[in-house]
Chain A
């Protein structure tokens, strides 16, 4: 079918849309009174926490709500035609042809048993009835467009043979196969590493310009939306709460939720001691337990009883701005520029003596080249290569790097889940690198504990919260009697600021943030002195992240814990850590205090990493560095410097030094070391990646 005739109104016009899901018990409204319009060539961001209904809007546009979902009010118009009035036939013609979608998990959205070429060729073959040869030529062209190397080989592979970043490019290519008028991107980069994310985002932006496609960009990451979109719509609990151009919303926000959201994310300038993050109090309301009136009311600082909860709040137009709307009754009364009322600033904790000393630690895995037979030559994966550092009491040491850099391997060796290949780990001058967890005494086990990334999977679903903590206490040998342990468990709940009544609850009754608090309580059950926090907040929503981070900091201050904070999120690392260690392919490429690492001289990888992190602040100017290609496989690392394949400074090093030798660790300042061949002068000439424009 040919595309719908030229049309110059808005590409997508959603007007007062309401979507509900119907269960046997009740109707659950997922989206209420939602309006947004996307003009040709415009990119509109849809921002909100999980469960706020942003993905439901996307599926509503696609008319693919499943059996239980139904549009109960309002219209969705695409190029002036109401999508809900179309027949199945007409819808099929629009899907993939006029509206295409890019999904969150590229691996899951590609058919594992079908070659990529076939999946791509299908699109023009269905919609334009072109021949196989022409479809193949088209697929080849688009795959080249999304900058994938060796397009012909790509078309002939299965999805699992590609890396995550490559898969996402294929999904993008698939969406662009028939040059759609509207592209819906549902958290397209959440599953990807930061540097890969930066490359994918740039690709999407460029292609959007090239093909003139309008975009609906769904994300929870405000920084990403700032980089990609022209306009923005903030959603909270099924409603749009604020809508406007990026600059209006970022700089002149008119809704308390938007404001609270910005205050809870670590922007440059935030500091755990002098300018702590402000968490949004309370919890996200469940869809069937929404409060009367303003949904954000119970968590809002400006809430006025009898007014905010009296009636449904409509959208108001903010005078003076272009298409800027807010769902707040009091937006004209609130002084938006009022300075943040500071939560009490805290004293910086005194950093004590060395607790943990890692010396030349190595962890190699032997992988049989042919897993089925065990025979053949073995390959050595160097997961950790000569790690040396110290961690002190009450210190937060952040370990930063992308997937496959060896940070989790290090955590495993430290915990005793694996034993080291070489080198040593000294805990209070005792060697523990060769002691597996089964052989460690209760005291050591209790002293070195871990907070895991995903709180949803780490609690036993069939045991009460209290029981699980008591179980940990038993293992660590804390307390002499059941009553004593129970008392201790209640104290631990106090420590993580959970009500004592939670002891008798099952994990499923808890929200993500609460579960993570239980995880923290469990980690501190044996008076842990070293806590490895493996991405402890990355699975949580932004507003909860701040509260959990804050809690960790507070416990650290009180207990003088050494915190090893593993993360890929540099904003949060900058906010809370004292020292930072940057890892790449098993090597520590840079180590120094937070200020040293975040300002020049940089290791080239740190520089790229800093540039890749999206920052939700319009006053920040970033240098734009996009790394080419993917992270090399740890099975087959490049010779010489591990980063040489993607390094933009490589030409500055004379000869082929980078390809021949692993650079030595150099001290560039007191406590700051960089593993790089670049000369002193070049390192000194580096410019800061992030600049905050003078206000």
Chain B
């Protein structure tokens, strides 16, 4: 098992390397750099000026060298301009040239400098990730148990009234996008139109001081949307298990219905939805951007949109690295959990 996890980590690193290189390559294409030069320097720069600007700041080095610098395996680019200004990959405003470190890459814990927020990327990412992580946690707490319960209740007696009503419910929730349900919730529960002023329509305060009142609506909006999907998967898996021969064996052994569901069917029925639940993590990480915007909750998705919209290369890279790791990590957990649930698969 230990060896297995070690190997999986190796694969993860390799995947992360490849993926970041792809992102690095795409964000460092010339049109992007030109845009960067113009926003950083002067909007009315001529093509030659752009070229010099980029040249002076090390943006025209070979792609692999730049990637190595970003990773921190190659010394950072430094240059002193004609006007005496010290520039370079590792240069930070207010830091003397002598104090500037030689290497400043991801390996050194230096994620770069965000041009939008005028701050260290590392700090921004961890703060935004924290916000989203908190949101994700509560979404999962609400979404997974209720989805499983709905799915299992619906699947244990296929075609019953309970099944049909629960299935309809889950189809409706999956078919309603967050921006629709979110707006409806805000209209019903927060505005004076309906009059039910139970919750706050914005979650801005929740970043510092989350309470049930200001935090429940965004959680509910995301949870409902994701829930229908998991519930449908669970139901499908449950109905299949309930028609399996070993369930008949259990029934003809005289096992009572509740015991059949709990002891015989449940574990087998959870194998398929487990993978789906794990696939929800990446979606939650970036897909929540709509809800974050709707409730003005500045999380990871929001930061991503800012970075992409403002051509913030370093921030964009950091965010993609984090996303890649979250995806790979959840898949690792999903594989290990799968082994636990399904005894037919054993990893020695």
A-to-B contact residues, CB < 8 Å: 62, 64, 67, 92-97, 100-101, 103, 105, 108-114, 122-123, 126-127, 158, 160, 171, 174, 370, 372-373
Contacts and interface: CB of A to CB of B under 8 A. Distances in A.
A56 B227 CA distance: 40
A158 B253 CA distance: 19
A127 B248 contact: no
B254 A127 contact: yes
A92 B251 CA distance: 8
A122 B253 contact: yes
Interface in B1-45: 3-4, 7
Contacts of A110: 246, 249
B174 interface: no
A94 B254 CA distance: 7
- Give the one of A96, A101, A111, A171 with max B CB within 10 A: A111
A62 B249 CA distance: 11
A126 B343 contact: no
Closest 8 pairs (CB-CB, A-B): A96-B253, A96-B254, A108-B245, A95-B254, A111-B246, A158-B343, A113-B267, A109-B249
Nearest to A105: B245
A62 B252 contact: yes
A190 to B, nearest CB: 14
Given A112-B268, A114-B264, A95 B7 contact: no
Given A113-B341, A373-B7, A64 B268 contact: no
Contacts of B263: 114
Contacts of A108: 244-246
A112 B254 CA distance: 19
B267 to A, nearest CB: 5
A62 B245 CA distance: 14
B64 interface: no
Contacts of A92: 254-256
A146 B82 CA distance: 93
9 contacts: A96-B252, A96-B254, A103-B245, A112-B268, A113-B342, A122-B255, A126-B259, A373-B3, A373-B4
A109 B246 contact: yes
Given A101-B249, A109-B248, A113-B267, 6 more contacts: A95-B253, A95-B254, A127-B254, A160-B344, A372-B4, A373-B4
Contacts of A101: 249, 252
Contacts of B259: 126
B7 to A, nearest CB: 7
A110 B244 CA distance: 10
Nearest to A115: B343
A490 B348 CA distance: 56
B343 A112 contact: yes
A540 to B, nearest CB: 23
A160 B346 CA distance: 11
Contacts of A372: 4, 347
B274 to A, nearest CB: 13
B159 to A, nearest CB: 7
Contacts of A126: 253-256, 259
B250 interface: yes
Nearest to B3: A373
Given A108-B246, A109-B246, A113-B341, A93 B267 contact: no
Interface string B262-278: 01100110000000000
Interface in B219-270: 244-246, 248-256, 259, 263-264, 267-268
A108 B249 CA distance: 9
Contacts of B254: 92-97, 123, 126-127
A416 B245 CA distance: 37
A113 B252 CA distance: 18
Contacts of B251: 64, 95
Nearest to B248: A64
Interface size class of chain B, counting residues whose CB lies under 8 Å from the partner chain: 20 to 34
A95 B252 contact: yes
Contacts of A97: 254
A114 B263 CA distance: 9
A372 B267 CA distance: 24
Given A103-B245, A108-B246, A372-B4, A113 B268 contact: yes
A674 B102 CA distance: 80
Contacts of A112: 246, 268, 342-344
Interface string B318-348: 0000000000000000000000011110011
Contacts of A94: 254
A94 B251 CA distance: 11
Nearest to B264: A111
A370 B119 CA distance: 49
Given A67-B159, A160-B344, A372-B347, A111 B252 contact: no
Interface in B35-92: none
Interface in B145-163: 159
A21 to B, nearest CB: 15
Nearest to B259: A126
A93 B253 CA distance: 9
A94 B348 CA distance: 43
Contacts of B252: 62, 64, 95-96, 100-101
A100 B255 CA distance: 13
Given A93-B254, A96-B253, A174-B253, A370 B159 contact: no
B273 to A, nearest CB: 14
A406 to B, nearest CB: 26
A125 to B, nearest CB: 10
A613 to B, nearest CB: 28
A94 B252 CA distance: 9
A616 B159 CA distance: 45
Contacts of B344: 112, 158, 160
Contact of A111 (B7, B250, B342): B250
Given A108-B245, A122-B255, A158-B343, A370 B250 contact: no
A616 to B, nearest CB: 28
B179 to A, nearest CB: 40
Given A122-B253, A372-B4, A160 B246 contact: no
A614 B246 CA distance: 29
A249 to B, nearest CB: 29
A92 B268 CA distance: 23
Contacts of B3: 373
A442 B283 CA distance: 52
Nearest to A1: B254
Contacts of A174: 249, 253
A95 to B, nearest CB: 4
Contacts of B343: 112-113, 158, 160
Contacts of A123: 253-254
Nearest to B157: A67
Contacts of A122: 250, 253, 255
| Max chain A C-beta neighbours (<10 A), residue from B248, B250, B252 | B252
